[in-house]
A = this chain, B = another copy of it.
Amino acid sequence: MRVKGREYRTVWMEAGRVMMIDQRLLPHRFKIIGLRSVDEVCDAIKSMAVRGAPAIGATGCYGMALAALTGEKTGKAYRRLLATRPTAYDLRDGLDYFLKAEGGPLERADRYADESSERCRMIGVHGARLIRDGMRVLTHCNAGAIACVDWGTALAPLRVAKSQGKSIHVWVDETRPRLQGAKLTSWELLQEGIPHTVIADNAAGHMMARGLVDLAIVGADRIAANGDVANKIGTYEKAVLARENGIPFYVAAPKTTFDPGCPSGKSIPIEERPQEEVAFVAGSDARGRLAKVRVMPLGSKCANPAFDITPAKYITGIITENGVFKPGKLK
């Protein structure tokens, strides 16, 4: 992805450190951080300096490379990295790839990142065929380049559609509690020059009912064998509303997100994240400094499930690097 005139990936390795865009600071600040230990990589994943299933997968793979290069036992590193986030399946894929691959540690991780980036590019190529000139496309959370190594999953078809000269408009669900739509998707679409409008998550159904949404595309954190999809909390709501309003609802994900060992969404663990993500909202203050505000009274508690399950019946198709498939029909 191009930021301030330079090409970046979400995560890479440089001078023995795992480097990444610190996504906790976006869109207010663009900063690269360098991690020197598996500990630091685990913290970066848990605290969501890096997030998005394919990006976590690649970060896990680079974490394994870092373990190998710094002399940490890979078995221990594997277990610790795997425990950082329970829902995204790509994490396991990235860790397993490292163990099975040949070549030096950096070579293996770089190859995983290259392949991951190429998978997303192909999702863009296949997905762009679904997008017609003038379409208004709803997306939820951030499934863009910074949720992957590059290109994105849900946003890749939009990038390719734009490069084909199609005029599109994107409705961006802000995606509480962490606001990855308002903060990250809008930032990416600004970089790409793609017209977009941010809406409260509550407004998505209204926009659909008013006939203002032609298509919905979201990413995925894990896809079960029967086609049920775990993705950012709220995805299920938008999928039900899309079906109710006759709007095609697509999931874009590489094969690394498929968990063939998982029979249905019921078997996918749903991460419960800290209450503070609901009780506080982070952003920038009037001087552009990072700040957060409390939005509820002391004494009230919150629940914060980070993902939900969208049953296969609500999903029109899954866009992968190999084409568009009916959910449950993936090989």
Interface set of A (CB-CB < 8 Å, partner B):
27-28, 172, 174-177, 179, 182-183, 186-187, 189-190, 196-207, 209, 232-234, 236-237, 240-241, 244, 270, 278-285, 291-297, 299-305, 308-309
Interface SS of A by simple majority: mixed
| Separation of A116 and B201 alpha carbons in the complex (Å) | 32
Looking at A175, A232, A236, the one whose CB has the most chain B CB atoms below 10 A away is A236
Name 23 interchain pairs, CB-CB below 8 A, sorted by A: A27-B296, A176-B200, A182-B296, A183-B297, A186-B300, A187-B297, A187-B300, A190-B299, A196-B300, A197-B300, A198-B278, A198-B303, A200-B234, A201-B202, A202-B308, A203-B233, A205-B236, A206-B305, A237-B241, A280-B283, A283-B295, A292-B293, A293-B293
Q: Given A187-B297, A197-B301, A209–B309 Cβ distance below 8 Å? A: yes
B278 touches A285 (CB 8 A): no
B196 touches A27 (CB 8 A): no
Residues of chain B contacted by A304 (CB below 8 angstroms) = 199-200, 203
Q: Given A282-B293, A291-B293, A302–B205 Cβ distance below 8 Å? A: no
| Separation of A270 and B179 alpha carbons in the complex (Å) | 25
From B176, B207, B234, B283, give the contact of A174 (CB < 8 A): B176
| Separation of A244 and B241 alpha carbons in the complex (Å) | 10
B302 touches A281 (CB 8 A): no
Residues of chain B contacted by A28 (CB below 8 angstroms) = 294
